[in-house]
Amino acid sequence: MRAVQVKEFGGPEVLEVVELSVPQPDSGEVVVDVEVADVMFLDSRLRSGWGQDFFQLSLPYVPGGAVGGVVSAVGAQVDPGWLGKRVVTQTAASGIGGGLPIGGYAEKSLAKAATLTEIPVGLTTQQAVGLAHDGRTALAVFDRAAVQPGSWVLITAAAGGLGTLLIQLATAAGANVVAAARGAEKLSLATRLGAVEVVDYSLAGWEDRVRRITGGGAAVVFDGAGGAIGGAALAATADKGVFLGYGSAAGDFANGDTEAAAARGVAVLGLFDIVKGEIDWDAIVHRIHTAVIAGDLEVVIGQTFPLDRVEQAHTAIESRSTLGRTVLTIGASL
């Protein structure tokens, strides 16, 4: 089978399409004939050699932590009823809050039977894969924020996969969304999805503009950018507001003045603070799928690349030019 392999850490050019043996499932695993593989910003960072203290990758490896496709083989302890079903799943090595996002950029991928979700009628494989990471995280952080009608909500990295979902969720809840992103194309997308105000955070003093727009700060901040942008977004949070930092699109998680925020009564939460609680992930997946099928949520798949153009996919993500989700199309995507 064809797969993408990283044999040494480096730039996008180290991504190589090679022939590998077809994986064989353990007793509790299945083989998925991959139609669509998710491509994350994290994939590009790990490929560069970043994060070895947290993600101990052994070279060579196949990137990719989530796939969609058809189950073609099952392990001895797996219900054979899964055979032939169209599913979306984490790869066998991946997992929320742990594991390694590897094994997905391939024509066939291993997955644990326990993580399989059958893709319902009305949802495409691309949509399902686009929601594999972002859909669950978006609802988890949104539920935790308890957004109120009429309140101001700031969303950074607003044109990314998570940001585009959060704009729509907050707007549907009756909030006033300020979307922060870089460049006219991304801000135009945010406006189309429901943001009432947009700010370009490549411009100096953008956080001061947010405070003026919101009359002193946003009651809820969803920070998908992190780094200095996330720090500025923390300063744009209203007194006694809620700041939820879940992303690192700017390079690292938010690095703002948390002591000053605490003095203002701001609740500062990171992704692990949100996902470590008791969350019914199956119910969340059902909710997000149902909303998309009903037309209440749009999954923005901004870029698709075939397997042999994986280098361009990583280049696009690293250039910060992408909109919504980026995916690889490998098999007969529906």
How many Cβ atoms sit within 10 Å of the Cβ of residue 191? 16
Residues 245 and 324 in one domain: no
> Is residue 32 assigned to a domain?
yes
Tell me how far apart the alpha carbons of residues 48 and 317 are, in angstroms, rounded to a whole number: 13
Under the banding of pLDDT at 50, 70 and 90, the label for residue 264 is very high
Residues 179 and 306 both lie in one domain: no
Q: Are 248 and 188 in a shared domain? A: yes
Same domain, 253 and 141: yes
State the chain's mean pLDDT as an integer: 93
Is residue 64 a part of any domain in this protein? yes
- Say if residue 141 is in the same domain as residue 265: yes
Together in a domain, 144 and 90: no
| Phi/psi-derived region of residue 50, left when phi > 0, alpha when psi is between -120 and 50, beta in every other case | beta
- Shared-domain flag, residues 8 and 106: yes
In a domain, 124, yes or no: no
Tell me whether residue 308 is in a domain.
Answer: yes
pLDDT at 163 over 70: yes
Domain count of the chain? Answer: 2
Residue 56 has pLDDT above 90, yes or no: no
- For 290-318, the pLDDT digits (tens) are 999 999 999 999 999 999 999 999 999 99
Does 61 have pLDDT greater than 80? yes
For residue 334, the model assigns a pLDDT of: 44
Domain-ending residue, one of 260, 275, 290:
275
The pTM of the full predicted model, rounded to 2 decimals, is 0.93
What is the rounded distance in angstroms from the CA atom of residue 269 to the CA atom of residue 74? Answer: 40
pLDDT cut 90: percent of the chain above it: 83
Asked whether residue 49 falls in the same domain as residue 169, the answer is no
Residue 290 inside a domain? The answer is no
Q: Are 313 and 200 part of one and the same domain?
A: no
- Lowest-pLDDT choice from 111-125, 154-168, 239-253: 239-253
In a domain? residue 155: yes
Using the predicted structure, report yes or no on whether residue 333 has a pLDDT greater than 60.
no
Q: Give yes or no: residues 11 and 36 share one domain.
A: yes
Same domain, 101 and 147: no
- pLDDT of 249 > 90? The answer is no
Q: Residue 156: which residues within 8 A CB-CB, separation 6 or more?
A: 163, 180, 181, 201, 221, 222, 223, 224, 225, 229, 230, 233, 247
CATH number for the domain including 241? 3.40.50.720
Domain for residue 123, yes or no? no
Question: Apex CA 230: angle with CA 227 and CA 236, to 5°?
Answer: 150
pLDDT computed for residue 286 by the predictor = 95
Task: List the domain range (segments joined by +) for residue 55.
Answer: 2-118+300-329
pLDDT at 152 over 80: yes
Q: pLDDT by residue (tens digit) across 173-192?
A: 999 999 999 999 999 999 99
Task: Give the integer Cα–Cα distance in Å for 249 and 175.
Answer: 24
Same domain, 95 and 139: no
pLDDT at 291: 97
> Does 275 score more than 60 pLDDT?
yes
Query: Could you tell me if residue 292 is inside a domain?
Result: no
Query: At 100, which CATH number?
Result: 3.90.180.10
